[in-house]
Structure 1
Amino acid sequence: MASPPAPVAPPVAHRDSGSLRPVIGVALVAALGGLLFGYDTGVISGALLTIESDFGLTPLSSGVVVSSILVGAMIGAAGAGNLADRHGRRPVLVTAAAIFTLGAAMASFAPSAAILTAARVVLGLGIGVASNLVPVFIAEIAPPLYRGRLVGLNQLMITLGIVLAYVSNYALEHVNHSWRWMFGIAAVPAVLFGAGMLAMPESPRWLALRGHTERARAALTRLRGPDDPAAVEAELAEAATRAGDTAERTARKNRWRTLTSRSVRPMIVAGVGLQILGQASGVNTVIYYAPKIFESSGLGSSSSILATVGVGVVNLVMTPVGMVTVDRIGRTKLLALGAFTMTLALAGLAATLAAGGQHSSVAWLAVAFVILFIAAVATTLNVVVFIIPSELYPLRIRGTAMSATMFSNWTMNFLVSLTFLTLLDTLGGAGTFTLYAAVCALLTVFALRCVPETRGKSLEQIEQELLTK
């Protein structure tokens, strides 16, 4: 008969902002992975026009170049977690930086569309690894009371990376072979990311899991500061207790098999279900195809591009609002509120498109509903989509579980992006966005019924509570 879980000490709260400075610095360095994620995702929008001209691409080959990054992301997300559980978070993130650098160089000097496609797959590998491990690494170094907003730095940097990609596209538009420069300059933050991660401590929780107590203590002291050694010892004892208990229960189990065990299954349902429904809500189709949506509502080409810039700005500006809010009202309430608002916004967009006509007032009403939708996504779904799974999973299988989670994210992203234009042609704008609104309504119910609240709890407390339910 299994022994009951050991009692867990209460979480250690940091009493002053000064003690947060070291962990904020480490989180910012790790979040450079999110910046590269955003930049390498967004840069293709401006680069594609000159790529098509230089290589004489057809619509099909252009689609292959664009979508190849998603294939790489699926592979990277699937493989990164198991490596991180075996070898640590930091070395795998350093490897991701090297992959980003290699991909930027390959894309910049690509002599053919085939090599460029291969480079995009390499960049996708880096994105998949970063999307998996950056939230996990930040979650494992962060104090409980500030973990949500610190993990949210990843999403903020993703949106910043997208905006920087748009800016570089604009700035380099008239440079010869501009797309080569657009891809190549990404090597600079990639090198900074790798050098920065080499100087960062390993996750103290992973070190505790592996029995490296002294290294875990040193890492925690660096992250929390030397002024409160008792708090460091208390947090280390909590991490070591759960690490030992987790190791005892899962040492003889295959990590992937553990994901389907009865105790872990509700966590996987919550984490993977959030990714599937979040992507199926159509959030990325709005980002990818905003100009087409606006043109279908009656805006001209230049006005559609201007409105799309507004979408990007709203996405960037509203993300910090969600970062501040997530630790105050909690993950579940924020997600449910956001999904409900997304439902209303998409229903309004569908009704506007159904009204038809090419009147400018109707077109700008459609823009307003899209802006409302993006604002809701930026402050809620996009903030918690990485935070929630990084907190839910048991320590020993956290990386592997995140692999399954982010693989489902990228796979659904690929499928939704692939089918959007077909849905638009088949169902029309009104029918397509009514379908997405229904998914958002389902996401609202899912958030309230299936996603446990984790606000203000240590990772060890969350693990104990969920495994003993």
Structure 2
Amino acid sequence: MAPTDTVLPPEPGAPPRTRGRAAVLGASAVAALGGFLFGYDTGIISSALLHITPEFHLSAGMQQVTVASLLLGAIVGVLVSGAVTDAVGRRRTLLAAAGIFTVGALGCAAAPDDAVLIAARFVLGLAIGTASLAVPAYIAEIAPKESRGKLVSLNQLMITVGIFVSYLVGYAFDDAAQGWRWMLGLGAAPSLLMMVGVLRLSESPRWLLTHGRPDEARTVLCRTRTAEEAEREIREIETLAAQESKIGYRDLLRPAMRPAVVLGVVVAATNQLVGVNAVIYYAPTMLQQAGFASSAAILSSLGIGLVNMVLTGIALLLVDKVGRRPLLLGGTAVVVLALVLLGALYLVGDGQPAHSGLLVAGLCLYIGAFAPSLGLAIWLINSEIFPTAARGKASSFGNVTHWGLDFAISLTVLTTIQALTPTGLFWLYAAFGLLGVGYLYRKLPETKGRSLEDISASLRGEGRSAGV
């Protein structure tokens, strides 16, 4: 692909469909490096915190602040990047995110005290919030509808790969002098790779079309569609964009857009309120409190990360065949059951090896059910249910909900455990999950194999059935 925003005609040679599949897969993989960095930079703190805490003499409250500073940055990143991605394009936004990832990672590695570390993690959060919006939007807009679910979900797969790699790195540097600095600083390597890759990408065809560059949009679409499919998609986008070209944030709360906005918020809220990031950020700490040694706690987390990654990969193969609804609803129900089980295990805990093994198995069941359901859904559903011209702004509601609740949970996990006990914490998350799955059962449409414009129309009560 061209290294600037100007789109060059496709080169002659390979059959269009073959060349198109390779082009869209390559572009999606480059963009999804943002997902990898998202996963790595959120996951690595769980291992690093075991070493940062004694070095900087952190209380439980300051541990939570150190973790949560990244989430505060992510909230700001989402609030800013919604308008930015619509104004300057998905490609430029991805490039900016890669640069901020690099600065943040190096700042964390060099931090002389916790204040600087907190500031550097806030910078990383800006990049994560930006990437969490721009990556799925970009992939959704370059992907043909028959493979859109799989390609958008590549972002979530890369998030889980990043988390798993962060646990590997944490285990590798667990005994090293100042090992936590290596853990945090190594995040700069994939961010530099992403920066180089994004320089080779073209802009999203949908963004080009809604910004008055139809010839370039047509050229990009013809790389991944037949000429007839490209023209049909262009007509669909133009029709909808003409109706929604002046959408502002206030317009998103009007009746026509409200169902999609509420659905995006509920998916994001359920994703967080079942407590996944309490596990991602604090699993080693919670396991250590349950009697595990430091290395054993990190090694157990490595198993949890592996389950997360493998189940996400399996879901990636199924999402465009099975559909979104069965994966999301079935997986969330199992998440609720796993939370009830985990609460019961902590209630009757005796610290014996058999009990410790059941605890790790319960966490693996929880994350294994979460990965192909709520793990995929937050990014996939929020990239599919909004019209093209409003997607950057509208999806920011779900993203702000995600990061706002993530911030609140990360800032309160340890103190909530002190107040409610681990049993109370897990059962509280189970209650939230039950409420979420009830709402989604009634309101979530099936989006498999449907154009983005068709999905948007169905949520407004127009066009064909939502497919519930």
- CA distance in 1: counterparts of 2:420 and 2:102, whole angstroms: 42
Instruction: Give the drift of 1:295.
Output: 5.3
Correspondence 1:163 to 2:138: no
CA offsets, 1:235-292, max 9 Å, x none?
A: 3333333333333323344x21121011111001111111111100111112223245
Q: How does 1:23-102 map to 2 (within 5 A)?
A: 23-52=24-53, 55=56, 57-102=58-103
Correspondence 1:363 to 2:356: yes
Q: TM-score normalized by structure 2?
A: 0.89
- CA distance in 2: counterparts of 1:183 and 1:300, whole angstroms: 22
Q: Residue in 1 aligned with 2:211?
A: 210
Residue pair 1:298, 1:360 contacting (<8 A) in 2 also: no
Q: Which amino acid aligns with 1:194?
A: M
Q: Select between 179-188 and 334-343 the one with higher mean Cα deviation.
A: 179-188
Residue pair 1:93, 1:133 contacting (<8 A) in 2 also: yes
Q: Which amino acid aligns with 1:459?
A: L
Q: Select between 52-61 and 400-409 the one with higher mean Cα deviation.
A: 52-61
Q: Residue in 1 aligned with 2:279?
A: 286
Q: Which amino acid aligns with 1:414?
A: F
Q: Residue in 1 aligned with 2:4?
A: none
1:390 aligns with one of 360, 383, 387: 383
Q: Select between 416-425 and 68-77 the one with higher mean Cα deviation.
A: 416-425
Alpha-carbon RMSD across the aligned residues, in angstroms, is 2.4
Instruction: Give the drift of 1:188.
Output: 2.1
Instruction: Give the drift of 1:58.
Output: 4.9
- CA distance in 1: counterparts of 2:298 and 2:116, whole angstroms: 30
Q: Residue in 1 aligned with 2:413?
A: 420
* Aligned length, in residue pairs: 448
- CA distance in 2: counterparts of 1:67 and 1:93, whole angstroms: 23
Q: Which amino acid aligns with 1:374?
A: I
Q: Select between 261-270 and 177-186 the one with higher mean Cα deviation.
A: 177-186
Q: Which amino acid aligns with 1:211?
A: G
Q: Which amino acid aligns with 2:398?
A: T
Residue pair 2:45, 2:281 contacting (<8 A) in 1 also: no
Q: Residue in 2 aligned with 1:199?
A: 200
Q: Which amino acid aligns with 1:128?
A: G
Instruction: Give the drift of 1:306.
Output: 3.4
Instruction: Give the drift of 1:463.
Output: 2.3
Q: Residue in 1 aligned with 2:122?
A: 121
Q: Which amino acid aligns with 1:20?
A: R
- CA distance in 1: counterparts of 2:114 and 2:300, whole angstroms: 31
- CA distance in 1: counterparts of 2:379 and 2:216, whole angstroms: 27
Q: TM-score normalized by structure 1?
A: 0.88
Q: Select between 155-164 and 272-281 the one with higher mean Cα deviation.
A: 155-164
Q: Residue in 1 aligned with 2:335?
A: 342
Instruction: Give the drift of 1:159.
Output: 1.3
1:251 aligns with one of 245, 256, 271: 245
Instruction: Give the drift of 1:178.
Output: 3.2
Q: Which amino acid aligns with 2:283?
A: A
- CA distance in 2: counterparts of 1:324 and 1:388, whole angstroms: 17
- CA distance in 1: counterparts of 2:369 and 2:450, whole angstroms: 25
Residue pair 1:216, 1:236 contacting (<8 A) in 2 also: no
Which consecutive residues of structure 1, in runs of 5 or more, have no partner in the other structure?
1-13, 225-230
Q: Select between 325-334 and 438-447 the one with higher mean Cα deviation.
A: 438-447
Correspondence 1:401 to 2:402: no
Q: Which amino acid aligns with 1:93?
A: L
Instruction: Give the drift of 1:52.
Output: 4.6
Q: Residue in 2 aligned with 1:233?
A: 227
Which consecutive residues of structure 2, in runs of 5 or more, have no partner in the other structure?
1-14, 463-468
CA offsets, 1:335-371, max 9 Å, x none?
A: 0000111122122222333334444333322332221
Residue pair 2:153, 2:316 contacting (<8 A) in 1 also: yes
Instruction: Give the drift of 1:19.
Output: 4.3
Identity percentage of aligned residues: 42
Q: Residue in 2 aligned with 1:440?
A: 433
Residue pair 2:64, 2:414 contacting (<8 A) in 1 also: no
Q: Select between 384-393 and 175-184 the one with higher mean Cα deviation.
A: 175-184
Q: How does 1:139-154 map to 2 (within 5 A)?
A: 139-154=140-155
CA offsets, 1:70-111, max 9 Å, x none?
A: 110110011111111111111111111111122123223334
- CA distance in 1: counterparts of 2:191 and 2:296, whole angstroms: 34
**Structure 2 residue matching 1:79: 3-state secondary structure:** helix
- CA distance in 2: counterparts of 1:126 and 1:376, whole angstroms: 28
2:304 aligns with one of 308, 311, 318: 311
Q: Which amino acid aligns with 1:341?
A: V
Residue pair 1:73, 1:410 contacting (<8 A) in 2 also: yes
**Structure 2 residue matching 1:454: 3-state secondary structure:** coil
Instruction: Give the drift of 1:184.
Output: 2.8
Q: Residue in 1 aligned with 2:465?
A: none
Residue pair 2:270, 2:374 contacting (<8 A) in 1 also: no
Q: Residue in 2 aligned with 1:138?
A: 139
Residue pair 1:217, 1:232 contacting (<8 A) in 2 also: no
Q: Which amino acid aligns with 1:432?
A: L
**Structure 2 residue matching 1:457: 3-state secondary structure:** coil
Instruction: Give the drift of 1:313.
Output: 1.4
Instruction: Give the drift of 1:16.
Output: 6.9
Q: Which amino acid aligns with 2:153?
A: G
Instruction: Give the drift of 1:300.
Output: 6.1
- CA distance in 1: counterparts of 2:370 and 2:309, whole angstroms: 11
